[in-house]
Structure 1
Amino acid sequence: MTIQRFHTGPRMSQAVVHGDTIYLAGQVGDANSDITNQTKECLAKVDALLAECGSSKENILSTTIWLADMKDFAAMNAVWDAWVPQGHTPGRACGEAKLATPDFLVEFMIIAAKP
């Protein structure tokens, strides 16, 4: 099976497609924004990468969300709930972790199917 890599750099690719499965690197937003805007920016990046790989959010299989502080759980979920297509919600996990920089408040990791 062929492996396709998108936006490949020296450390990682932003998306990798193997067969009919798409793996996205962790997506973060503008480090100078609040949790609401960082979440919106992350999800916009997810939309763009999935489209580039030939898929969409309706085909997300699994999402892992890392929050720098669980106090932001409700605010992140408000954005997530407005974005995720009802009837197509993926498996999901959310936890608290130190992210790459203290200014990052949220990071999304996505696995999706390619229809």
Structure 2
Amino acid sequence: MNIIRHDMGPRFSEMVTVDLGAARLLYLSGQVAENPSLDITGQMREILRHIDRLLATQGATKQDLVSVTIYLRTVGDYAAMNSVWDEWVPAGHTPARATVGAKLIDSEYRVEIQATAAITAMGPTP
């Protein structure tokens, strides 16, 4: 087993890949919008684009997601969040998902998304 930390900082890595031989697991840290002044729709779109980019660095796509946890600052944003999610997530490839009401670290963040994907061991390495 080989563990690789990507974009490692003093407190967390942007993504950690675990090579299990025949498969790799990709653990994405909680993703928030780079522009927290956006509304829930804008923040969701920005975060999902970033998740797409992170997955692509390892040869993965959103179809490879196996688990997603969505943290919402305001549960009143649930319908708007789901509207963007439904446009983005591929039919027939929905991951296990939990949505949690949470007090996020910055009051401007409306949503944070943590994700895990699984892919074959073939693909880019760090």
CA distance in structure 2 between the partners assigned to 1:86 and 1:7 by the alignment? 31
CA RMSD of aligned residues (A): 0.7
The number of aligned residues is 115
Q: Does 1:21 align with 2:25?
A: yes
TM-score, normalised on structure 1? 0.97
Structure 1 regions of 5+ residues with no counterpart? none
Q: Does 1:89 align with 2:94?
A: yes
Q: Does 1:43 align with 2:48?
A: yes
Q: Which residue of structure 1 aligns with residue 75 of structure 2?
A: 70
* Paired residue secondary structure (1:114): strand
- After TM superposition, where is structure 1 displaced by more than 4 Å over at least 4 residues in a row? none
Deviation per residue, 1:22-67 (Å, 9 max, x gap): 0000001121110000000110110000111221100000000000
The structure that is strand-richer by fraction is 2
Residue 17 of structure 1 deviates from its aligned partner by 0.3
State which of 81, 85, 103 in structure 2 corresponds to 1:80: 85
* Paired residue secondary structure (2:100): strand
Q: Does 1:10 align with 2:14?
A: no
TM-score, normalised on structure 2? 0.89
Q: Percent identity?
A: 46
Structure possessing the higher radius of gyration over alpha carbons:
2
Structure 2 regions of 5+ residues with no counterpart? 121-126
CA distance in structure 2 between the partners assigned to 1:22 and 1:12 by the alignment? 14
